[in-house]
Amino acid sequence: MEIPGMTTKHPYTEKDYDAGYAVDWCPGCGDYGVQRALAGALAVLGLPPHRVALFGGIGCSGKIPYNLNVYGIHTLHGRVLPFAFGAKLANPELTVIAAGGDGDGLGIGAGHFVNSGRRNLDLTYILFNNSVYGLTKGQPSPTLGLGRQTRGMQRKNLQQSINPLILAAASGYTWIGRGYAYDKNQLQDLMVQAIQHPGLAYLDILQPCPKYNDLQTKDWYAGKDLSPPRSRLYSLQEEGYDPLISEDAGEDQVKAGITACMEEAFKWGDLIPTGVFLKNLAQPRYLDLVAGQIPAYSSTPLASRLIADAEGRSLADLSRIFSKLNAG
């Protein structure tokens, strides 16, 4: 079915996913790199824009659904994952991507972050990780370390930081990766892998906030303060790390793979690993589990069911409910 305003050509390019709106992020913001990498990943996968639903949280990163020519949904503070899960369950054929900041997803949204990991649903969660609340003048986000103080803060941070990769592994996410906003090629490849993964994928994206975070800057990630200067970032896959837990892996192998993921995720400072930390194929897909209990789910998902006739009248028979209410 043709949908007005939606391109259906193939192959696609990044420009096919450009909504044509002016972007008002600060100069040098890592959000630009994330947006370009995501558009590039969608083009590589050849996904028609009208078959992609992009859900955004609040904050600077929450603007990304407006900027890409896909179905964009701007959700509530900390609730991007429940919205995205609902859409995927209702329409399994959609490619669903949730995107939000570290404050949004790991602060008020931390409960949803953990609970989502219990369901191995086929969608991708992209987290913009700059360690500050950029839209509200640079308060410390949950990923800023204890005792750290950026230019946007009047006092040192009094709270411990959250390691989102370890939290994701402990919560049950079956694909876990980390990229860098200024490395578009690697980030695009990671997004392709995350979207293709048959299960719940989490992609942590390190990015500078030039306005408020003067600690984790572009130069800091580049290691210009080190002697000799060298990039802090390195690729796990280039070092030979294998994140795969095979489909037929036993319980001990699954535990060993998740433990290895966590060990790599603890590394921070002069050396920061990027790439794929975990690819667990042993966990059953949530959609398959649902279909096992509800056989009609696969053939007639909720989004395919008619809820009204041609004149807009509801097809649901509520007469018995109203009869009971009137009788009471």
The C-alpha atoms of residue 17 and residue 97 are separated, in whole angstroms, by: 14
Residue 240 exposure: Cα atoms within 13 Å on the Cβ side: 0
Cα–Cα distance, 326 to 328 (Å, whole number): 5
Only one residue has tokens 């975990």, namely 278
* 3 state SS of 80: helix
Task: Give, for all 328 residues of the chain, the pLDDT tens digit.
Answer: 344 444 556 689 999 999 988 888 999 998 999 999 999 999 999 999 999 999 998 888 888 999 999 999 999 888 999 999 999 999 999 999 999 999 888 998 999 999 999 999 999 999 999 988 887 777 878 888 898 988 888 899 898 999 999 999 999 999 999 999 999 999 999 999 999 999 999 999 999 998 888 899 999 999 999 999 999 999 999 999 999 999 999 999 999 999 999 999 999 999 999 999 999 999 999 999 999 999 888 888 888 888 888 888 888 777 877 887 887 6
Which helix H or strand E contains 275, and what residues bound it? strand 272-280
CA nearest to 84, candidates 299, 205, 70: 70
Picking from 171, 176, 183, the residue whose alpha carbon sits closest to that of residue 203 is 176
Residues paired with 88 in a beta bridge: none
**Residue 162 near residue 106, CB atoms below 8 Å:** yes
Count the Cβ atoms, other than its own, within 10 Å of residue 77: 15
Instruction: Note the pTM of the prediction, 2 decimals.
Output: 0.91
CATH of domain 14-327: 3.40.50.970
For residue 46, give both structure tokens: 């050849």
| Residue located via tokens 């050849």 | 46
